[in-house]
Amino acid sequence: MKRHAPALTALAAGLVFGLGLAVSGMTHPDKVQNFLDFTGGAAWDPSLAFVMAGAIAAYVGLSRLIRRRKAPLFAARFALPTRTDLDPKLIGGSALFGVGWGLGGICPGPAIVDLGSGMASALVFVVAMAAGMVLQRLTAREGAQQSPAVSLHHTPSIEVAHETQT
Amino acid sequence: MNTSTVLLSLAGGTLIGLAAALVLWTHGRVAGISGIFSGLLGKVAVSPWAAVASPPADLAFRVAFLLGLVAAGLGVTLLLPELLPTSSPSLGIAAIAGVIVGFGTRMGNGCTSGHGICGVSRLAPRSIVATMTFMATGAITVFVMRHMSGGAS
């Protein structure tokens, strides 16, 4: 049992996270679009702002307490993003993400929850998302080979890339 | 929007925050779903056999967390069907949106969870800028779809 504790807590976290998404309505594509429709007048649904507020309130308080520990329970150290620079990739990538989010009303977490609910469009979305991630990795690698100056800052491998920020 | 919607939103958000805190407490990492998902893709792509034969802790974390999300969807379907979505995008839109989301979240190193919740909570400047950016382009996209293209969505 103890050997499986890390995986079991991760499973529990995913389950609670997913339930939170479902309870709050983040798994409803039309609700997400109604939230993003700031100019929609009466159709605007601000309730997802309360989802973010609830999540941030809970996380801010607890993460402060947790960060007082020397290390997490099942790892040698905390592995949190440390970068503070604002680069075009961050802004361009986030801008693209927003376009896709608005287009389908789905972001990665809700897509995986909806997949579990058997929603066909969520399955298509998740497969397409994987393809988009692979495509990004391939094009980033190509760009890095073309300009060595950039490659100094470019994360050289998949193994390292996911450590920078999730 | 009424009071019960606000309360459900706050309750759901609190669950999300608690889950993200659990990830930080136990595994010391950010609960960023696009990153957890893409890391799994990367590991399986690099060495599928090693990934299956001797799952290292990192891989086990990713698989277990994502399975938890899937289980939540399954559980809602079986036990709380009133929470199920009542609409979904067409398969074509889902495919296009998925590719853009996959590409964008890797290029920008995060999505609504990693940047929008965990990063904003840490007051990380990159995450605050990322969140403002995807909120803005998401709103523009919905605006164009609903109010400029004859309401196709």
**Cross-strand bridge partners of residue A79:** B29
pLDDT of res. B150: 57
Are B86 and A30 a contacting pair at CB < 8 A?
A: yes
Q: Is 70 exceeded by the pLDDT of residue A1?
A: no
Q: Is 90 exceeded by the pLDDT of residue A51?
A: yes
Q: Is 70 exceeded by the pLDDT of residue B116?
A: yes
Domain range summary for chain A, segments of one domain joined by +: 2-66, 88-164
Q: Note the pLDDT tens digit of each residue in A99-114.
A: 999 999 999 999 999 9
Nearest residue in chain A measured CA to CA from B77: A117
Confidence of residue A84 (pLDDT cuts 50, 70, 90): very high
User: Looking at residues B2-18, what average pLDDT do you find?
Assistant: 95
Percent of chain A with pLDDT over 90: 77
User: Which of A4, A103, A137, A160 is most worth mutating to test chain B (most B CB atoms within 10 A of its CB)?
Assistant: A103
Confidence of residue A40 (pLDDT cuts 50, 70, 90): confident
User: Looking at residues A5-19, what average pLDDT do you find?
Assistant: 97
- DSSP assignment string, B73-109: HHHHHHH-GGGS-S----HHHHHHHHHHHHHHHHHTT
**Cross-strand bridge partners of residue B29:** A79
Return the closest-CA partner of residue B23 out of A138, A8, A39: A8
The answer, for B79 touching chain A at a CB cutoff of 8 Å, is no
Q: Is 80 exceeded by the pLDDT of residue A147?
A: no
Are A47 and B9 a contacting pair at CB < 8 A?
A: yes
Distance of residue B53 Cα from the nearest chain A Cα, in angstroms = 16
User: Looking at residues A1-13, what average pLDDT do you find?
Assistant: 91
Instruction: Mean pLDDT check: name the lowest of A152-166, B42-56, B127-141.
Output: A152-166
Q: What angle do CA B99, A112, A130 make, to 5 degrees?
A: 30
* Residues of chain B found within 8 Å of residue A125, distances taken between Cβ atoms: 89, 94-95, 97-98, 101
Q: Is 50 exceeded by the pLDDT of residue A32?
A: yes
pLDDT of res. A56: 97
Q: Is 90 exceeded by the pLDDT of residue B23?
A: yes
Q: Complex ipTM, two decimals? A: 0.93
Domain range summary for chain B, segments of one domain joined by +: 9-148
User: Looking at residues B69-98, what average pLDDT do you find?
Assistant: 97
Alpha-carbon distance B32 to B29, whole Å?
9
What 3-state class would DSSP assign to B29? strand
Buried b (16+ CB within 10 A) or exposed e, A65-77: ebeeeeebebbee
pLDDT of res. B52: 66
